[in-house]
Structure 1
């Protein structure tokens, strides 16, 4: 009995001690929970764990629950995790985690903040959470300077504005003038009506043609002029007895035809080629012939159908007569250039099959150019002996055009070249002359000159003639 009592008494004492410790712990926890901590935070868990990675760090998104005291240091989060020290505060929306390995809190930018974190923000670095008194003074000084400058700028604007009239007044004046803005088509229609008027003088018609020449450089305007009957009165001007109207009409026609297939087709269908050849054979002034040659060249360029009609209507015969009568050489150069362009076009078409992806219209163009027997006509009409005469000119440009044409015609004229002693001597003389010019330019430090190109043309022609 004595032993049992002693055991019961010891057990009661132990139980009392344990109960006292439990109560003490509860009081301590209650006090800790009721006391406001310095960095109280309300957290919403946003846990991210890797696949099968037990013990990974937990990520939490932090929102301010209590007001942060003014003396707390605000940490500016970045893209990288950084340690959050005791007494530090973080902006709302930042991500905070408890590193289970180190036991420290870490912070970085939240997801929404990361969206707008641009390269520009990265380069600016950390933003200062406070400014020194000196920095504030400098900022206030800068504001005052900006205000003073704005005031001076306003005064300057007032001075400038006083020199000009208000926009509303200008609008009223424009309305009183009853100005009408015309499109190009309306202008051309008005000019065509004026040209056809019986009261319009020759000088006025010439002025109208010059205005039209300026407008038809645009492809759409040239086509619109044809659709409103402009080709008819232009051809009438070519048949005029006044050479000034002939010159201006040919100028307008050449500009409208240049690189415009639609107008080229309409011109051939309206008989413009026959009119041009007739005028070219009968016109007297040199200025008229130059403009007509310009129109003929524009009509024939890249248009094998017109080239075939040109040959069938005696175009080469007209050009040969003009070539023989031209003493100055200006018409000769234009004629030889036009013939060279026609030969080169056909050669380029024959070489187009070498392209990896030929044009869809290639076969049709080859067929059309095959109907143009230009080189045979050149041989028959005596151009193998006419073109070399252009080498006698003193102009370097004329000689270059002649050499290029001679090379292009070599396939049909080679036998005649070899029999032409005048051509052989001209080539030798020109080669010596241009080699001396090349040497002179090399002495003064100039290379790859225009004269080297002419020497190369002469060499190429001499090689073909051997």
Structure 2
């Protein structure tokens, strides 16, 4: 009987880490019988099984250890990989970070899950590289980040997990943040005590205004000191609450006394404080009108005063009348338009004329806006009251009666583009009551024709130079709109 060749793989010592092949050849023997051949074959099979069992029972000192990769939870372990637990008693584990190239593993080294490990039969060494899935997304940035840390200590991992739990606790985090912010600032009472020791004093706006009023009313205060006090008050009353507090302290009477002063500097600064206090402040506007300040302001405008005083007084009047129909009615009933018309005729430079025309345009425009908004049925009762109050202000009728239809066109003679623009806007706003006089005013017709031709040439010149001409185009549009109204 002929018996073939049997190959058995053996694993030498762990230091060699290589497979060897033991080949046993069964030699045919014709002299023996079938029973001897079967006995020999059974003996050889038993011998092979014992050798294999002894190999599997041995523990390699360089056994490969696989650790869980915390950065890749979805890593796929290949057929050649084995996942085992990390023995914490073993101390620090050196984790090899695989790359796209094969690298040799040393005894005691661990690799992340998902790595590709093979046994090199030629060298007897274990080699590792990135798995197929990771290899697709491997970049230089990942290499640099993963090369920074190659050793993981169990204590360090525990500290990191503890810190993560603390960061996830919002209550503790917010409390610590508040404590950190509070530690950087000191209580106001403590600051006051420290400043008191330095002979410094912390004052609120109310305390400052009280101190300024006391100094202003002091008999020892000079004119220069009073001027300085008024400048400080003007800065403070821009805030709505401060302006109302100043009135409740009696500061309004102080401002009125300054308006009635014989020193034009005190008049100028007092009017400046008054105008700033009433700007967009209805509560102060009411108190100022009830105090009779409007009559005082009109008196100053009607008398001979320096230009700088009249400019500040006009500012105060315009601020008082803006969005306040009650004050506008008092202005008209006390001959305000007559005072402004005389001031308009007396002003040769055009500075006061421009301010007057702008104020009249604002009054006309806000009344029209209120009337148009009154068509909305969803508005509240307070708006209806405002519409009713504006209806009692007969501004355009007063403008026609006081001759403003012929006064405003005179501002077109100015060489300033801004003055002309404001005059054109006012003329358009007054067109419903002044259109008949516009048509009969040959001077106005000639001015409009001349200005239109002038601005059209300027637009063409700027277009040739490649400059913006939007402002001049707007002026031409105003002229065209006014000419349409006059037809």
Question: Shared fold (TM-score greater than 0.5)?
Answer: yes
Match of 1:38 in 2: 62
- What are the Cα deviations for residues 241-273 of structure 1, in whole angstroms up to 9, with x where unaligned? 332221111011112222333322332233322
Q: Are 2:448 and 1:423 aligned?
A: no
Match of 2:357 in 1: 336
Match of 1:156 in 2: none
Q: Please tell me whether the aligned partners of residues 237 and 245 of structure 1 are also in contact (alpha carbons under 8 angstroms).
A: yes
**Deviation of residue 301 (structure 1)?**
1.5
**Deviation of residue 68 (structure 1)?**
11
Matches within 5 A, 1:166-181: 178-181=199-202
Counterparts in 2 of 1:180 and 1:91: CA distance versus 1, 3 Å? farther
Q: Please tell me whether the aligned partners of residues 60 and 97 of structure 1 are also in contact (alpha carbons under 8 angstroms).
A: no
Equivalent residue in structure 2 for 1:74, among 72, 96, 119: 96
- What are the Cα deviations for residues 21-77 of structure 1, in whole angstroms up to 9, with x where unaligned? 568635632442333153343789xxx99xxxxxx999986443497999x982348
Structure 1, gaps ≥5 residues long? 1-9, 50-55, 109-118, 131-172
Matches within 5 A, 1:176-255: 178-255=199-276
Equivalent residue in structure 1 for 2:113, among 63, 85, 95: 95
**Deviation of residue 16 (structure 1)?**
11
Q: Are 2:46 and 1:25 aligned?
A: no
- What are the Cα deviations for residues 369-393 of structure 1, in whole angstroms up to 9, with x where unaligned? 3333322222222211221122223
Match of 2:147 in 1: 127
**Deviation of residue 312 (structure 1)?**
2.9
Matches within 5 A, 1:229-308: 229-308=250-329
Counterpart Cα distance in 1 of 2:264 and 2:92: 100
Match of 2:395 in 1: 374
- What are the Cα deviations for residues 162-197 of structure 1, in whole angstroms up to 9, with x where unaligned? xxxxxxxxxxx9887523233333222111111111
Counterpart Cα distance in 2 of 1:445 and 1:107: 64
Q: Please tell me whether the aligned partners of residues 73 and 88 of structure 1 are also in contact (alpha carbons under 8 angstroms).
A: no
Secondary structure of the residue aligned to 1:127 is helix
Q: Please tell me whether the aligned partners of residues 277 and 315 of structure 1 are also in contact (alpha carbons under 8 angstroms).
A: yes
Counterparts in 2 of 1:442 and 1:33: CA distance versus 1, 3 Å? same
Secondary structure of the residue aligned to 2:238 is coil
**Deviation of residue 129 (structure 1)?**
8.5
- What are the Cα deviations for residues 396-433 of structure 1, in whole angstroms up to 9, with x where unaligned? 32222111100111111111111222211222222233
Counterparts in 2 of 1:93 and 1:314: CA distance versus 1, 3 Å? farther
Q: Are 2:433 and 1:409 aligned?
A: no
Q: Please tell me whether the aligned partners of residues 76 and 91 of structure 1 are also in contact (alpha carbons under 8 angstroms).
A: no
Counterpart Cα distance in 2 of 1:333 and 1:124: 71
Structure 2, gaps ≥5 residues long? 1-33, 118-126, 132-138, 151-193
Counterpart Cα distance in 2 of 1:342 and 1:69: 85
Q: Please tell me whether the aligned partners of residues 95 and 107 of structure 1 are also in contact (alpha carbons under 8 angstroms).
A: no
**Deviation of residue 127 (structure 1)?**
2.6
Q: Are 2:473 and 1:452 aligned?
A: yes
Match of 1:395 in 2: 416
Secondary structure of the residue aligned to 2:147 is coil
**Deviation of residue 292 (structure 1)?**
0.8
Q: Please tell me whether the aligned partners of residues 288 and 294 of structure 2 are also in contact (alpha carbons under 8 angstroms).
A: yes
Counterpart Cα distance in 1 of 2:249 and 2:56: 100
**Deviation of residue 304 (structure 1)?**
2.5
Q: TM-score, normalised by structure 1?
A: 0.68
Counterparts in 2 of 1:35 and 1:435: CA distance versus 1, 3 Å? closer
Counterpart Cα distance in 1 of 2:478 and 2:456: 12
Counterpart Cα distance in 2 of 1:30 and 1:271: 118
Q: Are 2:332 and 1:314 aligned?
A: no
Q: How many residues are matched?
A: 391
Q: Please tell me whether the aligned partners of residues 329 and 393 of structure 1 are also in contact (alpha carbons under 8 angstroms).
A: yes
Q: TM-score, normalised by structure 2?
A: 0.66
* Structural RMSD (CA): 4.6
